[in-house]
């Protein structure tokens, strides 16, 4: 428990102090956000706001994770390192996307094919490694099975599992990217999911099959370290949100949104709660579905369901204030995470 507290505290402090330094540095270099011309008119005033702020909380998370292990002279685990690799790798893809936007002074960065290829390469390395490296008890960071509250059903094979993992990684990294459309929205929405994974990792540690074999115990490798990863990223994200809250002085950019989607997918895979993430990150899923519905409806009927997609921009065009949308969407994100945690704990309730 001590390393969870250390990771969260160090991540918070580093991000809180590091973000204003990044704002000054990025502003001096002219690394400002480009705005879509077809977007809500209220966003044009945000042009030039420093972007790529995700660099700050990604680095703060890595340093916080390292500090928690160094403080207790505890070596890092394979599971924790793999999740951080996924976060950092996808963050690097997002950084390239952001840098191209700034360099070419346009709202579009990497071409969609190149961006997807980068996500797939990082995801494929993660998928290859996550079913290997067993500990002394023979438990690997993941099994080739789909999971909900724990692994369910038979093995789907290494090929099937790799495809499933890639689908999760690309899906959730893009889902967080779509959610990142208003000041502080993605930061707050993913923060509550990370808080849920701190609790899930701690609960799996206390009911680990290695320590106490029972009917509902968990065959999860390194649950404590996965909670440490979640706490490190959560602390860093809270520190960043201090400066990203409306009106934002810095944006996370694709650097941050792809990294956050990656860490959520990685935690879900390593804690064996893959399908549960759909509920825990329900707001991101709803926003992604709004885009799918909008595109599908326009292609099939020539009509739009929403005034604009993603969903948050629909409410902007209806006249809702940005802070109203952000706070209400945060509340939805909290309800989704609470529902997911409730389902996670329900199998332990007396029957």
Q: Taking the mean position of all CA atoms in its chain, how far away is CA 115?
A: 17
**Nearest by Cα to 202 from 154, 141, 267, 274:** 267
Give the number of other Cβ atoms within 10 Å of residue 96's Cβ.
16
Ligand-binding site membership of 208 (annotated): no
Find, among 348, 351, 334, 11, the residue nearest to 206 by Cα: 348
Tell me: is residue 180 an annotated ligand-binding position. Answer: no
Q: Please, which residues have CB within 8 angstroms of residue 134's CB and are 6 or more apart in sequence?
A: 140, 221
Three-class HEC string of the chain: CHHHHHHHHHHHHHHHHHHHHHHHHHHHHCCECCCCCCCCHHHHHHCCCECCCHHHHHHHHHHHHHHHHHHCCCCCCHHHHHHHHHHHHHHHHHHHHHHHHHHHCCCCCCCHHHHHHHHHHHHHHHHHHHCCCCCCCCCCCCCCCCECCCECCCCCHHHHHHHHHHHHHHHHHHHHHHHCCCCCHHHHHHHHHHHHHHHHHHHHHHCECCCCCCCCCECCCCHHHHHHHHHHHHHHHHHHHHHHCCCCCCCCHHHHHHHHHHHHHHHHHHCCCCCHHHHHCHHHHHHHHHHHHHHHHHHHHCCCCCCCCCHHHHHHHCCCCHHHHHHHHHHHHHHHHHHHHHHHHHCCCCC
Q: Are 196 and 337 in contact (CB under 8 A)?
A: yes
Annotated binding residues for Mg(2+), written as ranges, equal 177, 254
Annotated binding residues, written as ranges, equal 177, 254
């Amino acid at each position: 428990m001590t390393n969870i507290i250390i990771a969260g505290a160090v991540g918070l402090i580093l991000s809180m102090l590091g973000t204003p330094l990044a704002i000054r540095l990025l502003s001096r270099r002219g690394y400002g956000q480009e705005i879509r011309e077809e977007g809500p008119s209220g966003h044009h005033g945000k042009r030039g706001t420093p972007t790529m702020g995700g660099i700050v909380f990604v680095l703060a998370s890595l340093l916080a994770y390292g500090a928690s292990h160094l403080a207790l002279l505890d070596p890092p685990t394979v599971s924790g390192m793999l999740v951080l690799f996924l976060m950092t790798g996808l963050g690097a893809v997002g950084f390239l996307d952001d840098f191209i936007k700034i360099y070419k002074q346009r709202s579009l960065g990497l071409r969609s094919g190149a961006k997807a290829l980068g996500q797939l390469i990082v995801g494929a390395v993660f998928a290859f490694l996550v079913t290997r490296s067993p500990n002394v008890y023979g438990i690997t960071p993941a099994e080739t099975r789909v999971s909900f509250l724990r692994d369910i059903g038979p093995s789907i094979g290494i090929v099937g599992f790799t495809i499933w993992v890639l689908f999760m990684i690309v899906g959730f990294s893009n889902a967080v990217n779509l959610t990142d459309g208003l000041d502080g929205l993605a930061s707050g929405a993913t923060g509550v999911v990370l808080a849920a994974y701190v609790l899930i990792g701690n609960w799996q540690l206390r009911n680990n099959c290695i320590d106490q074999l029972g009917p509902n115990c968990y065959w999860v490798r390194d649950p404590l370290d996965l909670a440490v990863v979640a706490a490190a990223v959560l602390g860093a994200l809270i520190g960043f949100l201090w400066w990203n809250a409306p009106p934002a002085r810095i944006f996370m950019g694709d650097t941050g949104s792809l990294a956050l989607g990656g860490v959520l997918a990685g935690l879900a895979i390593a804690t064996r709660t893959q399908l549960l993430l759909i509920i825990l990150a329900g707001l991101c899923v709803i926003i992604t579905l709004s885009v799918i519905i909008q595109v599908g409806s326009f292609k099939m009927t020539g009509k739009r369901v929403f005034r604009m997609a993603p969903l948050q921009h629909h409410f902007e065009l209806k006249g809702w204030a940005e802070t109203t949308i952000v706070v209400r969407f945060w509340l939805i994100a909290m309800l989704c995470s609470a529902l997911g945690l409730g389902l996670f704990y329900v199998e332990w309730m007396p029957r």
